[in-house]
Each structure stands twice: as C-alpha cells, then as structure tokens.
Amino acid sequence: MSEPFDAVDVIMAKRDRGPLSDAQIDWVVDAYTRGVVADEQMSALAMAILLNGMSREEISRWTAAMIASGERMDFSSLSRPTADKHSTGGVGDKITLPLAPLVAVFGVAVPQLSGRGLGHTGGTLDKLESIPGWRADLSTQEMLAQLEDVGAVVCAAGSGLAPADRKLYALRDVTGTVEAIPLIASSIMSKKIAEGTGALVLDVKVGSGAFMKTQESASELARTMVDLGTDAGVTTVALLTNMETPLGLTAGNALEVRESLEVLAGGGPPDVVELTVALAAEMLAAAGRSGIDPAPALADGRAMDVWRRMVTAQGGDPDAPLPTARHTHDVLAPADGVLTRLDAYAVGVAVWRLGAGRARKEDPVQAGAGVELHAKPGATVRGGERLLTLHTDTPERFDRALEALEGSFTIAPEGSRPGLLPLVIDRVG
C-alpha cells in the first residue's frame, strides 16, 4: 500500500522549525510502530524535536498518537474514584510504597503501574520484589479485583500500553535524544493516560540525583505534562521536589522497603513522611476528596493494614524477613563539623555499583545491596563517626562504589548553615 507521507518530508519540516500537522504526527508514530519509518529516520526526527521543540498542540497530538498505538485500560467499573502518582525518578525514592496504601485508606483506588530501575535511579518493582513471594505481573482482571477489594495495586505495566513509546524510548536512549522535553512528557503521559486513571499527581524531581538538574527545566517538564493531562481530560497536578540529596536514609531495594515499613508504622525519616503526606493530599483532592489530612492514617496503623493486604494479594508475605546483604563497609566522617552537602547522584551511582541497580534491562539485581545514610545535610557530625554504610553480597564491588562517592559530601566548620532548598519547591496545576 502507498503511504500518505514521506518520512524525509516530516523530518525536514521539523528540522526547518515548522509545525507538524495532526495528520503527519498520526502517520509518523503509526508508521514507526509498524516498521515503515526506519530507526535512523525516527532518530533524525527525535533530534529535530530536541533542537527545535514542539507546540502544546503538537505534543498533545503526539501523545494521543502514542496512546492510539495500543490499548487503553478502563476503571469505570470500580465503585471508587482512581488516582495515580508518577515520579520522574530519583535516589532513595520509595514514596510509592507508603503512598499507595495511604491513599487507599480514604476510599480512592490507586492503580500504580510501575517500572524497574535502570542506571542510578531505583525501580519500584525491584524494591517490592525483595519481599518473598511478591509478584509484579498481574492480569487486568486480577488488577481490577485487587483495586475493588484492597484499593491499591502496584504492578508492572502490560506490553499493550503505548507500544510506540517502548520502541521510541529504546531509540532515544542510544541516540542522545532522551532529554527532549516534548518526548519525555509524551512518553510518561501516554502511558499514564492509557492507564485510564481519573486523576494524576506528578512528582517532578529537581537536582543532581534527578533527570532534570535545574528548576527551569523541571518546571517546563511539569507544565508540559500537566497540560497534556488536562487536554486528555485527566485532573493533573505536579509538585517540583528536591533531589539534591537522597530521599530518606536508604537507597537500595530491601533497605527502602524496610524504611517504608517504618513510615507505615508511624515513624520513618521526616522527609519521606512529609512527601508521602503531601502527595497523598494532592491525590485525594484530585480525586474529589478535598480537605483530608492523610497523616493520622500513618500514625494509627490504617495505612499499614492496607499495605499488608496489598502485599498478600500479590503473593507476598508481609511478615517474612527481608533480605540483607552479606557484607558492609562504613564511610567515616573525616572531621568534626556540619554536613552541608551529600550528592544524590553520587550515592545513586554507588548504589548501582553495589549491585542494587542495572546497566541493561536484563541484568539481575541484589535485593540487599545499597547505601544507608547516617546523617543528612544540616546535621552536626563528629570525625570518625559513620556517615554512610555500604551493603552488598559481593565485596569486590566496594572499591568502585567508594570511587563514585569521592567528593560527594562536604563537611563545613560547626555553625555553618547549608543553603538547602525546601523538599517541595513548587506546585504546578
């Protein structure tokens, strides 16, 4: 059959800073998914988009074309409204674990389709898979039944959601076009809109451990995604949150589950609690449950009850001991003073090198590997005290992890005050 467009004409239109028509966008996304547009042609178009951008209308149409490449989920049969959260990824970001059961306490269903880690950012599924017996792969029927019964599910996205995105994402990864904001936004939002949730709260990370290093780029991404959700009829809000330093006191799979359990038991690090409660309040409001303070449900055990039912429903044993690494190594403070900086990216790379992350999608991960923090910026430390503890099953990994941590922290004279950004920097919506 003859094609209505030529890929070269579409590439040249964007190369020359022209807008792409709805018909051109629909065709090029579909033709690439079908294999009619070659990888080298789509990579040229992706580079033109990176360099020259897209209008709100173009990005919206591109996202719709990505959604149209696959199936859409439908939660209209549920007796409760739905709300989902998406984080752009960071170091120590275990928020989904306490957040999903917390929101479910208040009668809002949370269909959390999550991914695995790649590089220095951890994956929610890897964390949960450190719980003995827990499984990520659910059928649509199992997912709907669990949402109706328990109110929360965290599972792997099926291959039928936005298959065009999976193909394009792999291409962007090897062609230097990952950073194109229109393509990041449409990648995230095509899957989230196809997922069929009624409300969406975005946690857009900013800083060294985040994908977006500057507040300006994070704000642009947040605004683009909020516009895409709004255009698709999904109530969408974004919080810009600080990822200069790791979130909480742990980074690594089972370590983060253990910390999440502390939060669900009414304790845990203050920053993890603060962000969990802030995102829960936004999700509840977006789903029509305004004015609720979710914090008491962490303190009184209601969120923990939902967590236990959620884990059990997916084959996990909530009482089973979590894996621990066979070897540890302490990093000591070199002097007395105030810890003014602890670089999230460096910690993330160390966690990855210890075996908690992967360089390729098919790599295995160690459940017990990771980094434990004994101090956060602002804390007074004493020379010789532990700053970090490294965990791994394979001690030959310590040297490379320690290399990653060289120069990653600053200890200033006592009385110094670090210039720290707030945890929640801004709200877009």
User: What DSSP state is assigned to residue 136?
Assistant: -
354-to-178, 248, 321, 365 alpha-carbon distances in Å: 25, 19, 21, 9
Q: Which two tokens stand for residue 216?
A: 């300006």
Please pick, among 86, 94, 192, 308, the residue that the annotation labels catalytic: 86
- CA pair distance 354, 394, nearest whole angstrom: 8
Residues 264, 94: Cα–Cα separation, whole Å: 12
Q: Which of 183, 282, 182, 197 is nearest to 233 (CA)?
A: 197
SS3 content of the chain, % helix, strand, coil (to 5): 45, 15, 40
List the catalytic residue out of 69, 187, 219, 260.
Answer: 187
Segment holding 391, helix H or strand E: strand 386-392
Helix (H, G, I), strand (E, B) or coil at 144: helix
User: What does the alpha-carbon distance between residue 317 and residue 27 come to, in Å, rounded to a whole number?
Assistant: 48
CA angle 266, 267, 269 (to 5 degrees): 140
Q: CA-to-CA distance for 400 and 392, rounded, in angstroms?
A: 12
**Tokens for 283?**
């999700």
Among this protein's residues, is 172 annotated catalytic? Answer: yes
* 165 catalytic per annotation: yes
**Tokens describing residue 51:** 């360099």
Cβ atoms within 10 A of the Cβ of 5, count? Answer: 17
Report whether 164 contacts 32 (CB < 8 A): yes
Count CB atoms within 10 A of the CB of residue 128.
25
Catalytic hit among 172, 205, 391, 397 = 172
187 is a catalytic site residue: yes
Q: How many Å apart are CA 21 and CA 13, to the nearest integer?
A: 10
For the record, the structure tokens of 210 come out as 């985040």
| 92: nearest Cα among 278, 217, 260 | 260
How would you classify the pairing of strands 199-206 and 83-87? parallel
Residue 227 sits at the vertex; the CA angle it makes with 221 and 229, to the nearest 5 degrees, is: 105
Q: Give CA–CA dist 140/21, Å, rounded.
A: 35
Q: Which among 80, 116, 166, 191 is annotated as catalytic?
A: 191
Catalytic: which of 26, 84, 126, 165? 165
**Catalytic residue annotation:** 86, 165, 172, 187, 191
